[in-house]
Amino acid sequence: MLSFVSRRLLATLAVLLVASFVVYMLTAYSGDPLEDLRTQNDPASVAKRATLTEKLDLGTPPFFRYFKWLGSAASCVIGQCNLGISVTRGDEPVAHALGNAMQSTLSLVLLATVLSILLGVAIGMTTALRQYSGYDYTVTFAAFIFYSLPIFWVAVLLKEFGAIRFNEFLGNPSIPWWIALLIGIGLAFVIQAIVGGHLRLRLRTAGISLVLTTAILILLDITQWFRSPSIGIVGVAILAIGLGALMLFVTSNLTKRTFQLSVGATVVAVIALWYPLQFLWFYFNNPLAIPVVAIIIAGIGVLAGFFLGGDDRTEAMRVAGITGALATTTLVLDQMIMRWGEYVQLIPLRSGVISTIGANTPTLANNPDTWLRMLDSSTHLILPTAALMIISIAGYTRYTRSSLLEVLNQDYVRTARAKGLPEATVIMRHAFRNTLIPIATIVAFDFGGVIGGAIITERVFAWQGMGALFNQGLYHVDVNLVMGVFLVTGVAAVFFNILADLAYSALDPRIRITES
């Protein structure tokens, strides 16, 4: 195993070296960094050209310049990165520019990737379970369309219809009863298609969801929720209970008393902590509060699992702990929404609540209130995240569908059914876990690509991430900048590639890493 990893590392290091050489030469020969200055008639431009030539060491042929660059880049191994300076960014050190860009890219692409994996796997599973149904065909067709969408086109459409129209709605939020009814009917139709079953069951599902959706929408409209949204303790309670139920369902423990008790105790703890935590959020106004609270609540969950878990102690501890950690998000969400009214007052009048440009509102970037800043970045994240998700959900849906169908044909699934296990247990415990094996490798792959950023999305939404940096470097023939981005993306790709191989052999014991 160790020899496998070291061998792979050596081989990929060689690959990286060759690739970096090719990229360096290609970028260096792709244009003239002095072109702007050459066309100017300004007498000072000659002097500027001379200084720039010296700064970029243009006198040396690119072939030798590459080795100079490599020599200073090698210092990264000992922890002091010197990747040169970026002339187009006002002589900013490339390592510094990369640090900022990476942060912004990760917040954008990481969220989109995680959400698309979760949603894509969920949709893919439902389509596989309802194979050859109208729902399956619809989703398959939709996936094909999403595959075929150019992201720059989607992004512009989202800007127009997602943001501008939605902002108009938020400016004067009222839902007429007939629109509430229409939304209800649409949702009811979708839900009954997913749940499936006989006609009576379908009708009942559709009826319940229709009444519930319409009632909730009308209630929200009457109470003017969209004008001044809030979650409060009631919202937190509803969300936390829903989350607990979902966790129980996903781990197929919905009917087990011990699990109900431990997860239930965790949920109760979250609700009980809502009030005392208000003080913590207020006085300890720092993003660090989130992991601290998450750990505390997860600890409560683990304790609940320990005392109430009975025979399934280990698993109950795990399920309740994860539920607790995830439930922290509802508390954070509550804090963010609480500042809605204040936020609407603070943002510039012309731009709507859902922003189409940049990563944050410049005037709010240094606001002392953490939760307000988080709300601000969330409203900026919504659109680019949606654009990225639309494109990548389709792929995960298809992978999960075919993977689950393959697993469902296996003998052990038949055995599980034959010994009388409930279908939910067969799916969630026997089939689902094995479905995830091939998906895990794809996920590892995609995370390797995450750091490269989304060049087109960043461009359309004016987001200053890795993609934008790369774009800028290419446009102005800024070799150092391009090489910096390439180095980070290349190393990430290689690292996650190896990780994918290792994960595959760890998850599936039938696959062995061979020494050849």
Q: What are the residues binding another protein (CB under 8 A)?
A: 11-12, 14-16, 18-19, 22-23, 26-27, 29-31, 131-132, 144-145, 147-153, 156, 160, 452, 455-456, 459, 470-471, 474, 482, 486, 489-490, 493-494
Distance CA 367, CA 154 (A): 32
Decide whether 144 or 307 has the Cβ nearer to another protein: 144
Going by C-beta distance under 8 Å and a sequence separation of 6 or more, which residues neighbour residue 215? none
Give min distance, CB of 147 to another protein, in A: 6
Distance CA 128, CA 427 (A): 11
Bridge partners, residue 93, by sequence: 85
Decide whether 19 or 374 has the Cβ nearer to another protein: 19
Helix or strand run (H / E) with residue 86? strand 85-86
Distance CA 300, CA 325 (A): 10
Distance CA 391, CA 146 (A): 6
Rg, C-alpha atoms of the chain: 27
Decide whether 16 or 216 has the Cβ nearer to another protein: 16
Give min distance, CB of 27 to another protein, in A: 6
Decide whether 184 or 452 has the Cβ nearer to another protein: 452
Give min distance, CB of 153 to another protein, in A: 4
Decide whether 132 or 279 has the Cβ nearer to another protein: 132
What is the 3-class SS of 243-309, one letter each residue? HHHHHHHHCCCCCCHHHHHHHHHHHHHHHHHHHHHHHHHHHCCCCCHHHHHHHHHHHHHHHHHHHHC
Distance CA 186, CA 145 (A): 20
Secondary structure letter of residue 462 according to DSSP: T
Decide whether 5 or 179 has the Cβ nearer to another protein: 5
Q: State the residue for tokens 């969400």.
A: 333
Give min distance, CB of 476 to another protein, in A: 11
Give min distance, CB of 293 to another protein, in A: 40
Distance CA 267, CA 111 (A): 25
Decide whether 295 or 413 has the Cβ nearer to another protein: 413
Give min distance, CB of 446 to another protein, in A: 15
Decide whether 152 or 177 has the Cβ nearer to another protein: 152
Give min distance, CB of 98 to another protein, in A: 16
Q: Is 93 helix (H, G, I), strand (E, B) or coil?
A: strand
Decide whether 132 or 275 has the Cβ nearer to another protein: 132
In this structure, are residues 478 and 33 in contact, taking their beta carbons and an 8 Å threshold? yes
Give min distance, CB of 343 to another protein, in A: 26
Give min distance, CB of 431 to another protein, in A: 18
Distance CA 417, CA 391 (A): 36
Distance CA 352, CA 375 (A): 14
